[in-house]
Amino acid sequence: MSLKTFTLFFLLTLGVCSVQAQPVQFNADFEAGSLGGHELIDSVWFKRTAEDSTLMLSYNIYSRLDPDNPIDTTLPPSGRWLYFQMTGVKDKQLFLTFHNTDPLRCMYSYDNETFERLPICDAPTRRKVEATFGRDTVYLAYYTPYTYTYLQKRLNDWVTKNPQAAKLETIGQSTQNRLMQLLTITDPNTDNSGKKRVWIQGRIHTSESPASWHLDGFIGGILADTPEAEAIRKSIIFYINPYVNPDGVYHGLSRSNANGVNLEINWGRPEEQTEQEIKVLKAKMTELINKDGAFDMYLGMHSQVANRGTYWIHKAESTNERFFQREMLLAYLTCATSPNYLIKEDLDFSNVAPRYPEGWIWDTSNDTTLAITFETPYTYYSNRPDKPWVTNENLRDFGVTTLRAVADYFGISSTNRIIIDNTDAKLGGGWNTVRSTDVVFHGEDCVAPQKAGSKIIYRTSNVTAGSYKVYIWHPGSVTNESVSNTWLYLQDYQQKKSGKLSLKLKAENAHLANGKAKLYDAILLVRDM
């Protein structure tokens, strides 16, 4: 027997035979599609029985890099975003190894509309897929796309749902002349002069599609037909630019616009190095600031590869202690309303820098505007892979609870969720006011009992009859304390008839210098439904 004949006999005995196979067809020529290249490494038939065999195909998959950055020339181009079609895959065992990017259990779809996450058996580690698909054509994406076309549908949905509250305008055009749009949401029948003003923007980094699903839920929460949403619209004007970078999203780039510029760090540049998209945003924001004063809040919606959500909080050394305290309040309120998605240990800290939007806002409005970046993950929350992974549905739910934290930050009450600050309470003898920037109090201050039994009576009007859960904001240090800076359950409460509320509490202990006795701050009543 010759060596060649023996080798073939040996492979057939093992059930494996190398043959030339029809390669899989790859395509990314569609909206937001992105693929740099592919390379067939090997094709092998695996023979299970005489009648049953499977073609095993191994590919290197290369993500497409963004264009070279002409302004930040030392910044390497990103290639995170992946979104492509494979045809001719049915019942074939595919082994994909990704380069220039780092997907973990990426998303797949047979119809390019409904995406699911690959099970762990099909994507056991980052950059690997080992799967067999049941249909001939499949789409893979780093995360479920939120395309420019889909955004236009959602904008139409929101404006159609509540045409009085939601107004859409074009504020300019991108580098490639796509629309840059601003969705303004508020109650038009309430005087705007007393309202808070919040600017929100998303998709400055184009691969960060989870941020769009999160913002989608946030917007849906504002426009919901609920007493809570109605109260929010009466109290806040939202200016929402859902796509800072429409060209980058449309073309399936990762972090840059069509020119290769990372728009997130383009805010502190001279005019000749400032991209068209940033000029448009600065012009509109400046127009609104000149007309009505500084915004009360700025939220930049992002996503990050780390397996957790976070706020990027600007340290007091680069802002001031009062600003830092307010950032921590918003972050802790979000943790309190979204414990499934965000925990205190996940917060991140950095300094304000002029090249970022928050730095431009700081230079424009100083500490008047609470400007902060929010990051959602692509994978799972709070480093807990054993918990539910990120989905469009829980991102939208996260958006609703993030909105609730914003409303709590501004002290907005509704029929079913009532906040009563300590400044609206009647104090008996023996209380001191606490205004230290070392303490994360709700509102402008909190109070400390100087003796056990001191009374505080929380009062408000127009409370609907019913059963309520009562929580108290437990102020603590600005540092990460596990038992402080959250809504703590206090008691059940029964409002027998609609009208005024008067809830009396007695201090159990005097406030001590070590802070172990409870400080008294705002209370929250949540109606049992």
pLDDT tens column, 49-92: 767 788 999 999 999 999 999 999 999 999 999 999 999 999 99
| Confidence (pLDDT) at 13 | 42
Residue 296: half-sphere exposure toward Cβ, Cα within 13 Å:
15
| Confidence (pLDDT) at 204 | 98
Q: Give the integer Cα–Cα distance in Å for 243 and 168.
A: 13
Side by side, the strands of the sheet bearing 499-506 are 425-427, 455-463, 499-506
Q: In 413-519, where do the E strands start and end?
A: 417-420, 425-427, 431-434, 446-449, 455-463, 466-474, 486-495, 499-506
| Confidence (pLDDT) at 511 | 61
Domain 11-141: which topology?
A: Immunoglobulin-like (2.60.40)
Q: Give the integer Cα–Cα distance in Å for 277 and 173.
A: 7
CATH (residue range 417-527) = 2.60.120.260
Q: Which two tokens stand for residue 147?
A: 């395309």
| Confidence (pLDDT) at 11 | 41
Residue ranges of the chain whose pLDDT lies below 70: 1-22, 48, 50, 480-482, 511-517
CATH (residue range 148-409) = 3.40.630.10
| Confidence (pLDDT) at 527 | 96
| Confidence (pLDDT) at 9 | 38
Domains 11-141 and 148-409 share a fold: no
Q: Give CA angle at 383 (381, 385), nearest 5°.
A: 80
| Confidence (pLDDT) at 22 | 59
The terminus-to-terminus CA distance of the chain in angstroms comes to 82
Phi and psi angles of residue 291, each rounded to the nearest 5 degrees, phi first: -80, -45
Q: In 88-141, where do the E strands start and end?
A: 93-99, 107-109, 116-117, 128-132, 137-141
Q: Give the integer Cα–Cα distance in Å for 89 and 106.
A: 17
| Confidence (pLDDT) at 430 | 84
pLDDT tens column, 127-157: 999 999 999 999 999 999 999 999 999 999 9
Sequence spans of domains, the chain: 11-141, 148-409, 417-527
pTM of the model: 0.94
